[in-house]
Amino acid sequence: TTTRTVALGPGDAELVAGARLRAARMQPYLASAVFALVPVPEPGYGTFGIDRWWRVYMDMEVARDWGVEATAAVLLHEAHHMVRDHHGRADRMSVTGAQARRWNLAGDAAINDDLVADGIPVPDPVLPRHLGLTDGGIEEAYFRHLVKEPDHGSHDSCGSGAGGTPLPVEIDLGPDAPGVDGVDDVDAGAIRRAVAHDVVRSQDQGVPVSPGLVRWARDLL
């Protein structure tokens, strides 16, 4: 298991910086969360995933294949997992290890539903209709439906930050450990409140914001 965070190389750092800026233009109210994410290069991992301390594990070869636009979309997806507190909500729903895949699916469907509706190019998104669910629902409702169904398929975990099974590549230390970056629970709460204010302000100014995110923001505030 890795025990410390490693910086991105110069070229990869430039790609991630460009993707963050693009993500912040796509959904400006998510900017605080997108820029709070802590990139952790993970060669050979094959995708992106997130832990509960806001660390995004990135296979930069995959990101280079995706390009800036799709990488920005995936960063938004991971930021939504953190903003919506999917790991905390999984705890409150008493999601077991055996159910973690279905909770992760429920979260992915709720997020991607909103992103795709916003025209954001998420690579190969899992959507509610793929799971026999209706658009515009919330994670807990999706999860309650999914746990009644046979658990087929092999959906990869997005990581502990999504309330899914922890990734094999996850750093198993909190952000207070020496040489380890991350966002602690106090700062995470402040970021969520800042995003919630930005969501409500955007809606009040007539900016299109998904109903699910507005509902989340107003509940939080």
Tell me the average pLDDT of the chain: 91
Contact 151, 142 (CB under 8 A): no
Q: Is 143 helix (H, G, I), strand (E, B) or coil?
A: helix
Identify the sign of the CA torsion 151, 152, 156, 162: negative
Which percentage of the chain shows pLDDT scores above 70?
95
**pTM of the model as a whole:** 0.94
Confidence of residue 1 (pLDDT cuts 50, 70, 90): very low
124-141 mean pLDDT: 92
pLDDT band per the 50, 70, 90 thresholds, residue 103: very high
- Rounded mean pLDDT of 127-149? 92
What is the rounded average pLDDT of the residues 26-44?
95
Query: Kind and range of the H or E element at 64?
Result: helix 60-83
List, for residues 53-78, the tens digit of each pLDDT value.
999 999 999 999 999 999 999 999 99
Q: Which residues sit opposite 39 in a β-bridge?
A: 56
- Residue 126 tokens read as 């899992």
pLDDT at 51 over 70: yes
d(CA 30, CA 20): 10
- Of 181, 156, 202, whose CA–CA distance to 49 is shortest? 156
